[in-house]
Structure 1
């Protein structure tokens, strides 16, 4: 079972360690591909809109393609972000911005409608749910139907300072979560996502066939009643 873990910070802190424990309970080490932000994508979106016309025109396309190719091959995506100021880390937010062309209104990827994903966030105190929400929203708009979350206030500044009691709790939580994710079937998209997709079908049908986004939808067969989900 292939897993891609995208870490919202370079250092291997508490959030990273929890994500890694989860990965290793889901699959074998040789089936895990890891990316670290900003090391593996050290850019902010410039708002040039080049990706809307042609995704390969993005000035950061080569780095983005490596990550997207890995995500497309994976069955499960794990996105981890520490909580900074009750929000995701700046590198994770930059990642979200740089991949917005894959949202349903633009160039969604068929594979995303068939995946499972988990978002993990920790904080010394509070704010984890606020850090998770933008990441979860992005996964939803990519079309991912199974999105799970794990948030924990660890009352510590780093992994070494996390109490033994909390580490035992994390081990148990990750065992339960890994089993839940592995045993679950890929769901149908929510009614909202289906509504959004069908709304965009109508919008793309009205656009010129040669408009870049409409062409993408036409090539997928989505303008001819095909759906990206089973």
Structure 2
């Protein structure tokens, strides 16, 4: 299984989300390609709100950073996002990264390959907040059109991985193994969830009726989605 990982921070050894992601990778990669990106190093800038991506995403001022990530995601079967809880939400660098993909939301120009992929969203917290943090990520994955979205949240009760109780680490290991088996069972036979399909048809109707942005309409027409073609 080809995997692209977007880490929400640059921490490694002491990061709980990093260590949990590594456990998943060991179970799921099966010797295949794993591409890893670390925020903010691999996408250091904020979205400028210039609107360029909604007409031609290659004109984004940060395209030099985005292109390797876009290419890696396109080639992958599974996308993994990690995000430690920062004040009940994703870290700022993760939000800045997701902002650069606003043009890929389904009301605009979703990438057809996303409708054939799985995503795994990992969040940890010393206390609480993994649910709202995972929702930040899941909102984008849903509107990107990702076919199957899995989440894994854990309150680790420690400041870093070294401080996590061994009993909790064992629980995490068991839960990771179960979740990994579920992802593997789906494998390449990925079909979009009912929610994603429903959202697609709502946006399709919107493009046909309202035509807010000519670039969006032209994109949907080019894909054939306003006729009989579907991205899955």
Q: TM-score under structure 1 normalisation?
A: 0.93
Structure-2 separation of matches of 1:228 and 1:200: 13
Structure-1 separation of matches of 2:83 and 2:167: 22
Structure-1 separation of matches of 2:115 and 2:61: 27
Q: Tell me the residue number matched to 1:212.
A: 215
1:186 counterpart = 2:185: no
Q: Tell me the residue number matched to 2:105.
A: 103
Q: What secondary structure is seen at the aligned counterpart in 2 of 1:15?
A: helix
Pick aligned residue for 1:137 from 136, 139, 145: 139
Structure-2 separation of matches of 1:15 and 1:202: 39
TM-aligned CA deviation for residue 55 of structure 1: 0.6
Q: Tell me the residue number matched to 2:231.
A: 228
Q: Tell me the residue number matched to 1:31.
A: 33
Are the aligned partners of 1:143 and 1:189 in contact in 2 as well (CA < 8 Å)?
Answer: no
TM-aligned CA deviation for residue 213 of structure 1: 1.6
User: What RMSD in Å do the two structures reach over aligned CA positions?
Assistant: 1.6
Structure-2 separation of matches of 1:153 and 1:199: 36
User: Within 5 Å, which residues of 2 pair with 1:73-88?
Assistant: 73-88=75-90
Structure-1 separation of matches of 2:221 and 2:68: 25
User: Within 5 Å, which residues of 2 pair with 1:1-230?
Assistant: 1-12=1-12, 13-28=15-30, 30-184=32-186, 185-190=189-194, 192-206=195-209, 211-229=214-232
Gaps of 5+ in 1: none
Structure-2 separation of matches of 1:104 and 1:169: 37
Are the aligned partners of 1:15 and 1:81 in contact in 2 as well (CA < 8 Å)?
Answer: yes
Aligned residues: 227
Distance of aligned partners of 1:186 and 1:212 in 2 relative to their CA distance in 1, 3 Å threshold? same
Are the aligned partners of 2:120 and 2:150 in contact in 1 as well (CA < 8 Å)?
Answer: yes
TM-aligned CA deviation for residue 88 of structure 1: 0.7
Structure-1 separation of matches of 2:50 and 2:30: 40
Q: TM-score under structure 2 normalisation?
A: 0.92
Gaps of 5+ in 2: none
